[in-house]
Copies of this chain bind each other. A is one copy, B any other.
Amino acid sequence: MTRAAFEALDQADELARLRDLFSLPPGVIYLDGNSLGALPKATAARVQDLVNRQWGVDLIRSWNTHDWIGAAARIGDKIAPLIGAAPGEVIVADSTSVNLFKLVCGALALRPGRRTILTEPGNFPTDLYILQGIEAWLGDQVQLRTMPRGALADAIDADTAAVVLTHVHYKTAERWPMAEITALAHRHGALAVWDLSHSAGALAIDLNAANADLALGCGYKYLNGGPGAPSFAFVAARWQDQLASPLSGWMGHAEPFVFDDDYRPAPGIRRQLCGTPGMLGLTALEAGIDLFADLDMAAVEAKGLALGEAFIALAEARLGAWGLELASPKAADRRGSHVSLRHPEGYAIMQALIARGVIGDFRAPDILRFGMTPLYLRFTDIWDAFEILRTVLETGEYLQPRFSKRAAVT
């Protein structure tokens, strides 16, 4: 393995042209696009137009003239092909946490008499917390059950209302076999709810091929929608007119501008809307999504996995000597688009890397995450980042007091 070999991979990369669509700071190798995606160059001008012209000049009229009112569904329709959904099956609204709440409450109501929500321990915290909140509020009607990955399939039974899983694990990048688990849930009469936060925009997800019921995901990771971008929700067409949202806000009403006293849910996916959509967040998200317009998601997935493959190959020979351990599956078909390593001094190592411009992130207690974002990373970035990792570890630079552990915020 040589840097020249990695340069050759960049030469052959059909997605290489996409890097130029992003604004990336000099001196930085950004391996954290799985946490906050980088800024598309087109975004600033679109947000500026939203602020100065649409809001500033056209004011309230923009709900019609600039179709603010249609933005949530329009952007949803642009996300749909990235996740194997049909037009009208996806909408953008609220946060991932709020959408999970809506969809799981809705799923429970579709499975009366069944009490169990099934998930895995160590799922992304907000998923666990939201499910715990539903359990606390609905009392005896609901019981949250967590089963480790290996035992989860066998735990699906006649009391299971919904199986709620994150497609790609936020720490390990381990991938659930979506079609298989969904089929198993259906065999027992349960619904499958997928959190796509760590896979949408990176993997070639096919919700409808997997026969998934409900899904949701994050706009600010691989979709490059900006910090705290709104989330998206998917409801399979067959469920849309039966699925009630507990968050029955006015934007989900059949005719919000009739100002009726009585809630009547909109037909289709629109009933998953709740409050007035935040147009600044939606505008930035749309600019991020538009970069995917003509992309083949299979090629996007293949590149992300190949970047991870390259990183793992570089690491493998040296991991033992450095006290590091691969925390992600080695097999590409069981992995998402990030690679995690484990080290007791993970926090300090990541701080030392960041000080040298290699930005990944740390997840307590010992995980170093490296995001292999297929749209703007080059194979040579992986090579160069790895050389810096080598320096940090071999010189013991990370042992300097300035990198020592304190509360990590991100």
A residues near B (Cβ < 8 Å) are 23, 25, 28, 30, 32, 35-36, 38-39, 43-44, 47-48, 51-52, 54-64, 68-69, 94-98, 101, 105, 121-126, 128-130, 132-134, 136-138, 146, 220, 226-231, 244-253, 256-263, 274-284, 354, 359, 361, 363-364, 407-410
7 nearest CB pairs, A to B:
A95-B275, A97-B249, A133-B248, A97-B275, A126-B250, A228-B278, A39-B56
CA of A407 to CA of B138 in the docked complex: distance in angstroms?
Answer: 39
Evaluate contact between A96 and B275: CB separation under 8 angstroms: yes
Known A-B contacts A125-B253, A279-B226; the reply to A98 vs B274 at CB < 8 A is yes
Evaluate contact between B130 and A249: CB separation under 8 angstroms: yes
Residues of the B chain whose Cβ atoms lie less than 8 Å from the Cβ of A58: 25
Evaluate contact between A136 and B274: CB separation under 8 angstroms: no
Known A-B contacts A129-B248, A410-B64; the reply to A275 vs B94 at CB < 8 A is yes
In this complex, what residue of B is CB-closest to A408? B257
Known A-B contacts A25-B59, A121-B261, A133-B248; the reply to A98 vs B105 at CB < 8 A is no
In this complex, what residue of B is CB-closest to A146? B261
Evaluate contact between A247 and B359: CB separation under 8 angstroms: no
The answer, among B30, B121, B122, B247, for a CB contact under 8 Å with A59, is: B30
Known A-B contacts A276-B228, A409-B63; the reply to A249 vs B32 at CB < 8 A is no
Evaluate contact between B52 and A220: CB separation under 8 angstroms: no
CA of A274 to CA of B96 in the docked complex: distance in angstroms?
Answer: 9
CA of A122 to CA of B258 in the docked complex: distance in angstroms?
Answer: 12
Evaluate contact between A278 and B60: CB separation under 8 angstroms: no
Evaluate contact between B59 and A130: CB separation under 8 angstroms: no
Known A-B contacts A51-B39, A133-B246, A276-B95; the reply to A263 vs B56 at CB < 8 A is no
20 contacts between A and B (CB under 8 A): A30-B59, A32-B59, A39-B55, A47-B280, A51-B284, A60-B359, A69-B410, A97-B250, A98-B249, A123-B261, A125-B260, A125-B261, A129-B253, A133-B245, A133-B246, A220-B276, A231-B275, A257-B410, A259-B364, A280-B281
CA of A130 to CA of B261 in the docked complex: distance in angstroms?
Answer: 11
Residues of the B chain whose Cβ atoms lie less than 8 Å from the Cβ of A146: 261
Residues of the B chain whose Cβ atoms lie less than 8 Å from the Cβ of A408: 257
Residues of the B chain whose Cβ atoms lie less than 8 Å from the Cβ of A124: 250
Evaluate contact between B128 and A227: CB separation under 8 angstroms: no
Known A-B contacts A94-B94, A98-B247, A258-B364; the reply to A51 vs B43 at CB < 8 A is yes
Evaluate contact between A36 and B60: CB separation under 8 angstroms: yes
Residues of the B chain whose Cβ atoms lie less than 8 Å from the Cβ of A123: 261
Evaluate contact between A28 and B278: CB separation under 8 angstroms: no
Residues of the B chain whose Cβ atoms lie less than 8 Å from the Cβ of A282: 228
Residues of the B chain whose Cβ atoms lie less than 8 Å from the Cβ of A276: 95-96, 220, 227-228
Scoring A123, A125, A129, A246 by chain B CB atoms within 10 A of each residue's CB, the highest score goes to A129
Residues of the B chain whose Cβ atoms lie less than 8 Å from the Cβ of A133: 245-249, 263
